[in-house]
Structure 1
């Protein structure tokens, strides 16, 4: 059905699919197929309200032609932060700048959705002594040094967190955002509940997959109750965790089918966790995958045979021909962009204007692998590009890597070199 709609739309407009509008099941129309995936901006103030720079940044992206922009993860609980400068949206938030942020993100016919998140046990130990998780199982692969062993959540605490997701979504709608996304990927709390490696509970929240997906379904239904039937709700979901004993592709496809049946409006596919981050950046991608510029497109092709819910694939895309090819295959309905938009806010406009446009990305490096890792350059280099745009400046494609490392240390002190969100 989705493929037929794509073909009909292409014939009617006689233009590349990238610039075709897409209408979600409940009536929301996205003007094109370009989707800015969430990146951590680290632009929250001391009270975890959004800084004015987020207004400037998202207006820039809207003017750059993006159809739908996902914000960096916004925390639903100010006592559970993934990073020191996270934005929090709860009953204590000052909603003034949230309203400005939403309005800026809607310029030029764009949509803006906040990504709602709870980090679970992926909270650095300098932020909390005792994080929470489905089970009291620590992170592994050397992360024990930076992340404390979590406390297993009680039934009451689980229900409280579900309610907090719903509150944040309600406030997002009230402040003018046009939808919300649940962060169910990359090893955060929703992902932890889904994973048999991290969720070893023996109650209704753990054990078999039906129980393990109860949390995400409860979050979805609680949000739906607060925002109504017409307000779009999406989710970012792992295709797999790429960990022995973890969340598998088979698990993921079952969750996708269950969420589709429940009425989810949009599913973005990603992969990996803090413990197994390589697939977030495609480092283990097959050559055939690299040629297609899409890390998870093989998975998407399998999922498309199971559901009609609109899909987003994020990771690896650099050129308009590869993006249009992915859309024409019917495996995805939207193309997720991230780092390319941090280097050039006009990237969407350029893709639409030129069917052959491409923007290869060089890997920022100091020349020292150890220093690159220490400075988390694969994150902080792009983060500082976003900070430039937040100040009204242009990104700097040749931004000096050593300068980024030193600036990161100067601005955040010792916290700069702790584990950060992938």
Structure 2
């Protein structure tokens, strides 16, 4: 029997199979960051397709720090009824749901928020500096407030009925910004040594665990590397994995890259070793190294396309869960098909508009799939041939609207 079909328990929660939908940006919320019928329709489609677990796209813990228009924000119990309805969808079909809690730090387009903050005031590379401004360095009391916000959001998610949360510590978001020496130049207890740079993550974990019950799953997504010169080293990454494992984390998802070096989107795929390509997953080799160092469950996401490749990864012992992301955007029934022994139907390639600046940013790896999610949420079928250029111009138009609306609301509250 395929390993993919095997059930497994984390704490007292049973995952009916080993396939987890990795987080992808949905961009379906309104300006206020509220979930709606589009989220319900999208996640019900995946649940009906047999998915064992779904990790949501970014859910922000601070309305003042949104990474994009349309992102869900959980600060208070304001949207508890809608969150409960979302959580109930998973329960109806036996699909575990983890809310991905995140703070973007400096990774916010100019004009979307009043300001951007980070571990340190480090600007983006010249290519991205036109889109992302230089952040302000966080003060000590602000760091403590963000830690509290993660814990409060997790408490609300548990009250709504979700089985757990995932802390987004990868892809250049705020936790990742604290971990990386490229973006953390602090000289206090939150910067310098790897022990200090990982303090933010560990304090968030402790606060989340204290705010939730023993049965609540707390997971984290971490980079195997920044894929940038001067970034966090492999030795430091392993230290982080060991420290969060010792603290009691339930599940670590292995990923990699940032907006400036988007390895998570497969941008480095052509530079991988032949042996790695044959094994499909981008980060499986690193997962094997970490497996020897940690006791918690491991999930590998990125690059899996065949049943044999997925089963081989599980059989190797490198991971207990297979993360699937982009293929599920065009095949909502993919889980049932994989368990039946059928491979991914559509080859996933980099989405390009033909506009060099846009394509180098890999932003279409988010936007094109978000357009598919909206269609699915509306009860339509996804379109594998959807025009990337059309999607980009639609996004640009809506982003300008969001910026204008944000400025209007700021004036009203002033």
For the pair 1:358 / 2:363, whether they are aligned, the reply is: no
Which residue matches 1:301?
288
1:248-278: CA deviation from partner (whole Å, max 9, x where unpaired): 2211111111111110000001000112114
Which residue matches 2:200?
215
For the pair 1:399 / 2:413, whether they are aligned, the reply is: no
For the pair 1:247 / 2:213, whether they are aligned, the reply is: no
Query: Using a 3 Å threshold, how does the CA distance of structure 1 residues 141 and 229 change in structure 2: closer, same or farther?
Result: farther
- Of the three residues 28, 32, 49, the one matched with 1:43 is 28
SS at match of 1:229: coil
TM-score (norm 1): 0.90
Q: Which residues in structure 2 correspond to 1:333-348 (within 5 Å)?
A: 333-348=320-335
Q: Mark the runs of 5 or more structure 2 residues left unpaired by the alignment.
A: 404-414
Distance across 2 between alignment mates of 1:298 and 1:329: 11
CA RMSD for the aligned pairs?
2.0
Distance across 2 between alignment mates of 1:366 and 1:94: 36
Distance across 1 between alignment mates of 2:338 and 2:126: 40
| 1:357 to partner: Cα distance | 2.6
- Of the three residues 235, 245, 249, the one matched with 2:220 is 235
SS at match of 2:58: strand
| 1:71 to partner: Cα distance | 0.3
For the pair 1:161 / 2:151, whether they are aligned, the reply is: no
Which residue matches 1:370?
356
| 1:193 to partner: Cα distance | 0.7
| 1:395 to partner: Cα distance | 1.1
CA contact (8 A) 1:270 1:280 kept: no
CA contact (8 A) 2:15 2:53 kept: yes
Q: Which residues in structure 2 correspond to 1:128-147 (within 5 Å)?
A: 128-147=113-132
1:340-366: CA deviation from partner (whole Å, max 9, x where unpaired): 100111000000012x53334153667
CA contact (8 A) 1:364 1:401 kept: no
Q: Which residues in structure 2 correspond to 1:4-403 (within 5 Å)?
A: 15-24=1-10, 26-91=11-76, 93-283=78-268, 284-354=271-341, 356-363=342-349, 368=354, 370=356, 373=359, 376-403=363-390
Q: Mark the runs of 5 or more structure 1 residues left unpaired by the alignment.
A: 1-14, 417-422
Query: Using a 3 Å threshold, how does the CA distance of structure 1 residues 362 and 117 change in structure 2: closer, same or farther?
Result: closer
Distance across 2 between alignment mates of 1:278 and 1:112: 25
| 1:17 to partner: Cα distance | 0.5
SS at match of 2:73: coil
Distance across 2 between alignment mates of 1:367 and 1:87: 27
TM-score (norm 2): 0.92
Query: Using a 3 Å threshold, how does the CA distance of structure 1 residues 96 and 280 change in structure 2: closer, same or farther?
Result: same
Aligned residues: 400
Which residue matches 1:419?
none
